Amino acid sequence: MSAVDAEIMRRMVETAPDGVVLADAGGTDHPVRYVNEAFESMTGYSADELLGRDLRLLQGEEREQDGRHRLHEALSRGDPCRVLLRNFRKDGSLFWNEMQILPLRDADGSVSHFVGYHRDAGERLRADPRQARDTLSGAHQPTSIAIRDDRLTGLYTLAYLEELLKRDWAIAQRERRSVAIFTVDFDALDLYNSTFGRAAGDSAIRRVAHCISGCLRRAGDVAARIDGGSLMALAPGLMLDQAMRVAQQMTERVRDLRIHHPRSIVLRYVSVSVGVAATVPEAGDSPAGLLQKSHMQLQIAKRSGRNQAA
């Protein structure tokens, strides 16, 4: 490749709209060699602050994530992997890092580096709320091309739930109604998978997912799987106190499934933690703020010992 081509390629990566990261393959750590501008603005860290470090630092104390475990396994085998992880920006705010990590091989065929392509999954919701209102004028269903069904659980996908949230947000603003969001996490899923194997873990996630969606009874309520054992539910019209009661019911019903989990640090059965947020959106509010709040509440539920709603 000529020098000009190489410069153009460099600028193409530098200015890409998604985060791009290059890291060494090496051992258990994958020190960063390069991050582009989009990755800097997504995380709030400058390239200098990240170079030479492993990006697990973005997980803060949120290490117990099924996606992190899967990523660890895939990277140690030199396989590609796509996961959605809870990460924290430099200012401590939480975001969903949707990443695809691919191995790069040298001339011998051995993996020398990994390249990561990253997106802030909540960014979609920061779009101009007027766009959401426009979708109201057409069909009642969202017009997006988001894939609707999660293959593992049969719930909706996160992308589809976000489309519904944008639509319900616009309606709630117009009618001055409340919108509630639940973020649900399977407690100690890593330990469940390492005790019983991934197939059993998937089956437990499926049972928990059905139980959670069974707690939602009103037309317009929807549940989606985010990734691993993380779920999210949307309940238009529910005020915070009503939503808290539903969240408590979620934790009770999952406990009542009595799915044996002998190594859980919480109980001897599978349990969930639930974060709840509800608001009557004002003009100028965005649904991303409500999602962020429910994630923060989830952190509180977990820090308070899990197996509870906050």
CB of 142 to ligand FMN, least distance (A): 29
Nearer of residues 59 and 195 to ligand FMN, judged by Cβ: 59
**Are 120 and 126 spatial neighbours (Cβ–Cβ below 8 Å)?**
no
Q: Which stretch binds ligand FMN (CB under 6 A): 23-31, 145-153, 254-262, 299-307?
A: 23-31
Q: Can you tell me which of 33, 56, 148, 206 binds ligand FMN, judged by CB under 6 A? A: 56
Output the DSSP codes for 54-67: -GGGGGTT----HH
DSSP for residue 149: B
CB of 81 to ligand FMN, least distance (A): 9
**Are 208 and 216 spatial neighbours (Cβ–Cβ below 8 Å)?**
no
Q: Can you tell me which of 23, 121, 125, 179 binds ligand FMN, judged by CB under 6 A? A: 23
CB of 115 to ligand FMN, least distance (A): 6
Nearer of residues 71 and 250 to ligand FMN, judged by Cβ: 71
* Per-residue b or e along 28-63, where b marks 16 or more CB atoms closer than 10 Å to that residue's CB: eebebebbbebbbebbebeeeebeeeebeebbeebe
- Range list of H helices, the chain: 3-14, 37-43, 47-50, 66-77, 129-136, 158-175, 189-196, 198-214, 240-256, 287-303
Nearer of residues 79 and 256 to ligand FMN, judged by Cβ: 79
Interaction residues for ligand FMN, span 126-155 (CB under 6 A): none
Does position 54 interact with ligand FMN (CB under 6 A)? The reply is: yes
Does position 116 interact with ligand FMN (CB under 6 A)? The reply is: yes
* Per-residue b or e along 270-291, where b marks 16 or more CB atoms closer than 10 Å to that residue's CB: bbbbbbbbbbebeeebbbbebb
Nearer of residues 42 and 208 to ligand FMN, judged by Cβ: 42
Nearer of residues 116 and 129 to ligand FMN, judged by Cβ: 116
**Are 181 and 278 spatial neighbours (Cβ–Cβ below 8 Å)?**
yes
Interaction residues for ligand FMN, span 58-97 (CB under 6 A): 58-59, 68, 71-72, 75, 85, 87, 97
Closest C-alpha to 132, from 87, 171, 102: 171
Nearer of residues 19 and 281 to ligand FMN, judged by Cβ: 19
Tell me which residues touch ligand FMN (CB under 6 A). Answer: 21, 23, 28, 30, 54-56, 58-59, 68, 71-72, 75, 85, 87, 97, 99, 101, 114-116, 118
